[in-house]
Amino acid sequence: MPTVGVVAIQGDYEKHIDALWRTQYNDLDVREVRVAEDLDGVDRVIIPGGESTTVGMLMQRFGLADALRARAATGMPVWGTCMGMILMAKSIEDRQDQFTLGLLDITVRRNAFGAQVHSFEDEVAVEGLGTSVMGVFIRAPIVTECRGGAIPIARYKDLIVAVKQGNCLGTSFHPELTDDDRMHRWFLDWASS
Ligand code: GLN
Which pLDDT tens digit goes with each residue over 21-63? 999 999 999 999 999 999 999 999 999 999 999 999 999 999 9
Ligand 1 lined by 82 (C-beta under 6 Å)? yes
Tell how far the Cα of 55 is from the centroid of ligand 1, in angstroms. Answer: 10
- Could you tell me the domains of the chain? 3-192 (3.40.50.880)
Averaged pLDDT of the chain: 96
Render pLDDT for 79-128 as a digit per residue (tens, 0 to 9): 999 999 999 999 999 998 999 999 999 999 999 998 666 899 999 999 99
Give catalytic status of residue 32 as yes or no.
no
Residue 82 annotated among the catalytic residues of the structure: yes
pLDDT at 131: 87
Its pTM stands at: 0.96
Catalytic choice (16, 168, 174, 184): 174
Residue 89 has phi, psi (to 5 degrees) of -70, 155
Element (H, E) at 120: strand 119-126
Task: Answer for the pair 53, 100: CB distance below 8 angstroms, yes or no.
Answer: no
